[in-house]
Amino acid sequence: MPLEAALPDWNLWLYVAGPTPICAAAFRNLKQICEEHLGGRYHITVIDLMKNPQIARDDQIIAVPAVVRKRPLPIRKIIGDLSNTRRVLAGLDLPPAIGISTARKNNV
């Protein structure tokens, strides 16, 4: 089985409150991190709580911007503009960047 077939697709929900600069930065940061670490095997759903406030209750969102990792399980959450890549990687339990070998990663 090819490695790509064994890797899960990632489903991330980004909760925002309108088109604020912080929410826009969170989207850009999340997209960049996903490209580097998931190589296109992800889907980001943006949920504007100004338009759909009831949705926040289901995922117990108390601050925005916030990301909820829906898939793969378990569900993970992180709050903020997502500018701290290490924090995002740890909070969402994302894999190492694509193309970085384990030896190189351990030497950094």
Report CA 88 to chain centroid distance, whole Å: 7
Asked whether the beta carbons of 64 and 16 are under 8 A apart, the reply is yes
Spatial strand order in the sheet of 10-16: 42-48, 10-16, 66-71, 76-79
Q: Report which DSSP code applies to 101.
A: -
CATH, domain 8-107, list 1.20.1250.20, 3.30.200.20, 3.40.30.10, 3.90.1150.10 = 3.40.30.10
Q: Is the pTM of this model over 0.75?
A: yes
pLDDT tens-place values along the chain, 108 residues long: 444 455 569 999 999 999 999 999 999 999 999 999 998 899 999 999 999 888 888 888 999 999 999 999 999 999 999 999 999 999 999 877 765 433 334 333
Token reading at 50 = 């100004």
